[in-house]
Amino acid sequence: MSVPVVAPDFEAEVRFLTVAEGGRLGPPIQGMYRPDISYDGDPAGQVFMVWPWFFGENGEDLPEGTTIPPATRARFYIASDNARPVLRQRTREGLQFYLNEGRKRVAVCRVTKILSLNRDAA
């Protein structure tokens, strides 16, 4: 897999939880990682499908197949057009959200920039 050809919806800082905090046992891999996101106050089990693409301090994409660092940044692509209206209403710069694998919360994130979220998907 490679970075999607559509424009990313938003950018965020990502901090993966440690094992002691209940996080992953190992690091995710760029291009193979497909978590869901949730927000504070969401009903248990309510998540939204996204595709994160991680990048480094210089803004360049991390190479596909590399280990994603515990603290990093990502561009997020909404995987479901049905979720887009809900995420447009809820997502704003500074908002905290979470990466989930099933019902397990594995990362804490903060939106840093809205990109194409408010445009209609192609």
CATH number, residue 51: 2.40.30
Statement: residue 27 has pLDDT above 60: yes
Answer whether residue 49 is part of any domain.
yes
Token readout for 43 is 């009903």
pTM for this entry? 0.89
The answer to the question of residue 35 being in a domain is yes
Mean pLDDT, residues 69-90? 92
Does 13 map to a domain? yes
Position 120 pLDDT exceeds 70 = no
As a whole number of angstroms, the distance between CA 12 and CA 77 comes to 11
Place of tokens 């693409």: 53
Residue 47 resides in a domain:
yes
73-97 mean pLDDT: 92
Q: Which two tokens stand for residue 94?
A: 């500074």
Number of domains in the chain: 1
Return phi, psi of residue 31, to 5°: 90, -15
Tell whether 114 is covered by a domain: no
pLDDT mean across residues, the chain = 90
In a domain, 121, yes or no: no
Q: Which domain holds residue 10?
A: 1-17+27-78+91-107
